[in-house]
Structure 1
Amino acid sequence: MSKFGDLINTNTPVLIHFSADNNPECIEMHSIIEEIALEMGEKLVIIKIDIQKNKELTEALRIKSAPTLMVYKNGAMVWRQSGITDKASLIMIAKAFN
Structure 2
Amino acid sequence: MAGTSELVAAVGDADFAAQVLASELPVLVEFTADWCPPCRMMAPVLAELAAERVAELRVVTVDVDVNPETQAGYGVLSMPTMMLFRDGEPIWSAVGARPKRKLGQELTDAIARARAAA
Q: Sort the TM-score into its range (normalised by shorter chain).
A: 0.7 to 0.9
The answer to whether structure 1 residue 12 and structure 2 residue 17 are counterparts is no
Provide structure 2 residue ranges, at least 5 long, that are not aligned to the other structure. Answer: 1-12, 113-118
Amino acid at match of 1:68: T
Deviation at 1:60, TM superposition (A): 1.4
Counterpart of 2:6? none
- Give the TM-score normalised by structure 1: 0.87
3-state DSSP class of the match of 1:77?
strand
Q: Specify which structure has the bigger relative contact order, considering alpha-carbon pairs within 8 angstroms and separated by 6 or more residues.
A: 1
> Is the 1:13–1:94 Cα contact (8 Å) retained in structure 2?
no
Provide the rounded CA distance (Å) in 1 between the counterparts of 2:52 and 2:101.
Answer: 11
The equivalent position to 2:64 in structure 1, one of 40, 48, 51, is 51
Report the number of matched residues. 98
Counterpart of 1:37? 50
> Is the 1:13–1:73 Cα contact (8 Å) retained in structure 2?
yes
The equivalent position to 2:35 in structure 1, one of 22, 31, 46, is 22
Provide the rounded CA distance (Å) in 1 between the counterparts of 2:54 and 2:95.
Answer: 24
Provide the rounded CA distance (Å) in 1 between the counterparts of 2:14 and 2:31.
Answer: 17
Provide structure 1 residue ranges, at least 5 long, that are not aligned to the other structure. Answer: none
The answer to whether structure 1 residue 62 and structure 2 residue 66 are counterparts is no
Deviates more, 1:71-80 or 1:3-12: 3-12
- Give the TM-score normalised by structure 2: 0.74
Deviation at 1:56, TM superposition (A): 1.4
